[in-house]
Structure 1
């Protein structure tokens, strides 16, 4: 009796094995097809220059398109109210500058280079890390004016490679030192775009303003941001891609001359690049 049971069990196991073998083979075939398809896609992405796949999680060439970010920009656009000055004082797109040289109308205590910028049209003044830039003209800015420029960024990995970019106004037009904030080297204000922390900080050494706002900067690892500044007496207004990040008094009534500056990040990692173009200064 026991022998019969063992024989029956053996036949049962053989039957199961006979059925499972083709099922297992089908599973392996499907898995192989899936892996091959993924490999084919990666090869196609590399050949077509898709850096997102070929080099990891590099950001897109445009601001982030997540649902939250779209809502953020849509909401901000409702309060957009920037009016550029009509009396142009100075404009520069670096089209007349020699490639590979420092821009003729700008000065710095370090160096910079006018070049083509990845994924962008025209020429750009590309920054060197730990360097500040000012206009060569020593003529003080008027009491009411606007400044506009495009800020381009390019990183092969993500925004953490870009660090922070600061711009604002100083009491003098000297160019021997790096302006790191609003409190040193005769600076008055600074708006700091912190790509690493995804925030924008505004500070004034005169009015003691110091505030930080969150900003969806993850999508700007590769891309272009339009910056708009309006100064009307004591008040300073700043828009980043039509998002208002500042609208308050940043100067005292007794503030004397003001000169624009922009400071590159302390460190640019993994061959990241930052540059400006399409600069325009106009009186209100």
Structure 2
């Protein structure tokens, strides 16, 4: 099994720093002893938690706090009337769905904090998704193409699988069709092994006019350059070039964030005709209204430059998603009476709503504020991974979490919202593929009277 130890370089640094003095050396050994004690305690706790999980598999009593990772103890304002709201929700067969404990114990989500300025809205038609779960460790992923090399790995700080980017390779998702005029791209980007005395690396997000595995062969293109150096994670520049460009763009951004070095960030990119915007976590780093010209943007690659594993470098991507942006939510709701989104994200096997969901939730809240006559039923759906009863409970908990956030974060009247879960029973795509399962993990909104 291929495991990247992201803590190794930090441990070596601490050891060399502390070895110079007897006092520091003693502190270092003391910390090691404390870590050993903590590890033993955590092992006992994990066994206890696993036992409890098995015994309560069919009920989810709490929604975890998304900011602190702990259970909220404060009862929500709407909890007392939750059962009455659910009693009026009927399923497709006209029967009132059974209530689970998760429906009656909805706890307040944490505030979104700095993400309150995050306005990214993911596309509503999924075109590509890959979290590498179907790929063997050590192999190059089946749904990607490259002219260089790379492999799927695990790390010691994440349960996700990652595509490890190395040397001077370009990586392109395998898609039958060219990218549309309006689309979004999202993925997690992890880096480690950078610092004092280490060589720098560059990562390019490139938008090409023709299919190629490197920027040099991609024809007219646009690119965003990220520099990984001892000073930090630096969104360095945005530019376009080539014979088909009418207006040449070349902007130095030089936005350096030290805390993103040797860390994991979430990248969100929105292309709307000529305009390109990019967020790193909650902060919008790029907003270029004329970057995508001619036929730029029909293909997307991630180009690694001087990512050197032998020097301790690690750069990886995971949870990669491309979606087309079609009609806005209000238009879909008025035309079809419903819409669904795969852009509300939850922790794995949990109902904690991730902060990256803020943009789509804000859009839904604004639509409700602007249309006082619209009430919504929120329906959670899952893929078929896991037991059917568990998925049913999970879908209910996730729908309840979305409702609670709309009430408490965005001050939507509780009387306008109902929720239910349908588990894995209404799949809209093939559960045998990663893209299909991602399509089935969705939240649906239906207009009700």
| TM-score w.r.t. length of structure 1 | 0.70
User: What SS class does the counterpart of residue 311 from structure 2 fall into?
Assistant: coil
Deviation of 1:221 after TM superposition, in Å, equals: 3.0
Change (3 A) 1:160 1:167: farther
Instruction: Determine which of 224, 229, 241 is the counterpart of 2:264.
Output: 224
Give, in whole Å, the separation in 2 of the partners of 1:131 and 1:227: 20
Give, in whole Å, the separation in 2 of the partners of 1:208 and 1:75: 37
The yes-or-no answer on 1:234 pairing with 2:274 is: yes
Structure with greater strand percent: 1
The yes-or-no answer on 1:132 pairing with 2:170 is: yes
The yes-or-no answer on 1:202 pairing with 2:188 is: no
User: What SS class does the counterpart of residue 94 from structure 1 fall into?
Assistant: coil
Equivalent in the alignment of 1:4: none
Q: Which residues of 2 match residues 33-72 of structure 1 at below 5 A?
A: 36-45=22-31, 48=35
Instruction: Determine which of 101, 106, 122 is the counterpart of 1:84.
Output: 122
Deviation of 1:159 after TM superposition, in Å, equals: 9.5
Q: Which residues of 2 match residues 130-279 of structure 1 at below 5 A?
A: 130-155=168-193, 157=195, 161-175=199-213, 178-179=214-215, 185-196=218-229, 198-205=234-241, 206=245, 207-248=247-288, 249-252=290-293, 254-255=294-295, 258-268=298-308, 270-279=311-320
Change (3 A) 1:160 1:208: farther
Give, in whole Å, the separation in 2 of the partners of 1:141 and 1:42: 53
Deviation of 1:264 after TM superposition, in Å, equals: 1.0
User: What SS class does the counterpart of residue 140 from structure 2 fall into?
Assistant: coil
Give, in whole Å, the separation in 1 of the partners of 2:156 and 2:256: 22
Q: Contact 2:187/2:318 (CA < 8 Å) preserved in 1? A: yes
Equivalent in the alignment of 1:66: none
Q: Contact 1:102/1:113 (CA < 8 Å) preserved in 2? A: yes
Question: What is the total number of aligned residue pairs between the two structures?
Answer: 220
Q: Contact 2:120/2:268 (CA < 8 Å) preserved in 1? A: yes
Deviation of 1:102 after TM superposition, in Å, equals: 0.3
Offset from partner CA, 1:53-73 (integer Å, 9 cap, x none): xxxxxxxxxxxxxxxxxxxxx
Change (3 A) 1:40 1:174: same
Q: Highest Rg: 1 or 2?
A: 1
Q: Contact 2:166/2:306 (CA < 8 Å) preserved in 1? A: no
Give, in whole Å, the separation in 1 of the partners of 2:32 and 2:307: 29
Change (3 A) 1:135 1:187: farther
Deviation of 1:75 after TM superposition, in Å, equals: 11
Task: Name the structure, 1 or 2, with higher relative contact order (CA <8 Å, separation 6+).
Answer: 1
Q: Which residues of 2 match residues 107-118 of structure 1 at below 5 A?
A: 107-118=145-156
User: What SS class does the counterpart of residue 29 from structure 2 fall into?
Assistant: helix
Change (3 A) 1:91 1:257: same
User: What SS class does the counterpart of residue 158 from structure 2 fall into?
Assistant: coil
Q: Contact 1:158/1:221 (CA < 8 Å) preserved in 2? A: no
Deviates more, 1:90-99 or 1:216-225: 216-225
| TM-score w.r.t. length of structure 2 | 0.45
Offset from partner CA, 1:191-220 (integer Å, 9 cap, x none): 111122634211112331111223233223
Q: Contact 1:88/1:282 (CA < 8 Å) preserved in 2? A: yes
Give, in whole Å, the separation in 2 of the partners of 1:159 and 1:219: 18
User: What SS class does the counterpart of residue 215 from structure 2 fall into?
Assistant: coil
Deviation of 1:271 after TM superposition, in Å, equals: 1.5
Give, in whole Å, the separation in 1 of the partners of 2:297 and 2:224: 19
